[in-house]
Structure 1
């Protein structure tokens, strides 16, 4: 891991670990609400029960968070995971009614908490591209 990646990876990793750990025991109405919103954007998630989905989301967030803070996992790999997770949230944002202004990508008040997660895609792609271009540069100059 490059030293310049440390602040980004630790900050986002800590956030993901906290979020994932807080969802470990999510059940009942809370899990149903989360599952309902997700299945509206990604119908394939209906194959999971709300409690299964909450656990899967919890495990995914903990895995991404841990991968971000562990220094020997390549930034390209964690960047790819982060960008994929963020892309899923952007799909949720685009497909969920009421989160965007009509005929626009601008968020409504209800959409701001999801729209702001666009930074996950940007941060993930930055880690991925920087790591890949850095590796290519090293190969060309050594």
Structure 2
């Protein structure tokens, strides 16, 4: 479903602009930054350690740009946008939950080092809203 309600605009435009900006800001990142981000990401998704830092940097950059654009493009259905955002946020949440330094001893509450990633949990909530909200509206239309 395309952007057609104030709720959809809010659910898609805010995170879309944020993620797109994050990707654009990574264009041309240096090898050191790419290495650092790769090491962080590999804590949540160990297979990412097998890439070269430059490859990972491009993957992350273009992935963020693609997710942000998917959210902002009005002709992309909510479910597709929700899937893209869900995959992206799942990667960040896997880093959060698999890196003991990011959480308190209970493994859930964020430590000082984990606050930034914990705040990104809102992206997961938005992805769920996009995935489930469109299904309800489609069912209502079919009943009419």
Q: Which residue of 2 is the match for residue 123 of structure 1?
A: 126
Q: Which residue of 1 is the match for residue 139 of structure 2?
A: 136
Moved more, 20-29 or 106-115: 20-29
Q: Distance in 2 between matches of 1:41 and 1:127?
A: 24
Report SS of the residue matched to 1:98: helix
Shift of 1:8: 2.2
1:75 aligns with 2:78: yes
1:96 aligns with 2:102: no
Mapped contact 1:16–1:64 kept (Cα < 8 A)? yes
Q: Which runs of 5+ in 2 are unaligned?
A: none
Mapped contact 1:9–1:68 kept (Cα < 8 A)? yes
Mapped contact 2:100–2:107 kept (Cα < 8 A)? no
Q: Which runs of 5+ in 1 are unaligned?
A: none
Report SS of the residue matched to 1:108: coil
1:53 is aligned, of 38, 51, 56, to 56
Shift of 1:78: 0.2
Shift of 1:119: 0.5
Q: Structure 1 runs of 4+ off > 3 angstroms?
A: none
Given the two structures, how large is their TM-score scaled by the length of structure 1?
0.94
Shift of 1:7: 2.1
CA RMSD of aligned residues (A): 1.1
Aligned length: 141
Q: Distance in 2 between matches of 1:110 and 1:127?
A: 29
Mapped contact 1:99–1:107 kept (Cα < 8 A)? yes
Shift of 1:27: 2.1
Q: In the TM superposition, what are the counterparts of 1:14-53 in structure 2 within 5 Å?
A: 14-53=17-56
